[in-house]
A = this chain, B = another copy of it.
Amino acid sequence: MKRLLRQIDSEISALGGKRSRSRASIIEVFFRSGRHLTVDELTSEVRARNRDIGAATVYRTLKLLSRLGYAKELDFGEGARRYESSLTAHHDHLVCTGCGNVSEFEEPRIERLQDEVAKKHGFVPTMHRLAIYGTCPRCLSPQPRETAE
């Protein structure tokens, strides 16, 4: 973790950037959470530690991480995009429409079929987005306690 932060800092320096406490704080909270957060959610969590960090800075920091390849922008059509750490391998998403939780899966066979489809259409694919929407096991369970958000 410390290691990761230092690595990111050095990349920023290499690009002519400078360090900042706000940014370090945002980056740390982001990677610690390990979830798929909206800017709004991350801002709340960051503010719980440091009251006076502006939302704009959270936006900027996530954009920065995304440019550097440490974060990925996700769009599940919820109106606000989510960010995830891109330290894990490639994967697609299961989105629960009940509680909003997002989990991940890998399925090489689907990947292969996608390439096949693209090729058949004379398309050169650069990326894809696959999300399966539905109800997660937790929300399906008989005693539907509080559903987050």
Binding site for B on A (CB under 8 A): 75, 77, 81, 94, 96-97, 103, 105, 107, 109-110, 113-114, 117-118, 120-137, 140
Contact = CB atoms under 8 A, between A and B. Distances in A.
Which residue among A103, A122, A136 has the maximum number of chain B CB atoms within 10 Å of its CB? Answer: A122
Given A121-B137, A129-B133, 4 more contacts: A103-B121, A105-B120, A110-B117, A128-B130
A134 B123 contact: yes
Nearest to A74: B77
B107 A117 contact: yes
A79 B96 CA distance: 22
14 contacts: A94-B121, A94-B123, A105-B120, A107-B113, A113-B113, A117-B132, A118-B132, A122-B140, A123-B132, A123-B135, A124-B140, A125-B132, A127-B132, A128-B133
Nearest to A132: B128
Contact of A129 (B110, B123, B130, B140): B130
A143 B117 CA distance: 25
A137 B122 CA distance: 5
Contacts of A125: 132-134
Nearest to A128: B132
Which 10 interchain pairs have the tightest Cβ spacing? A122-B137, A125-B134, A75-B77, A128-B132, A130-B130, A124-B135, A126-B134, A123-B134, A124-B134, A127-B133
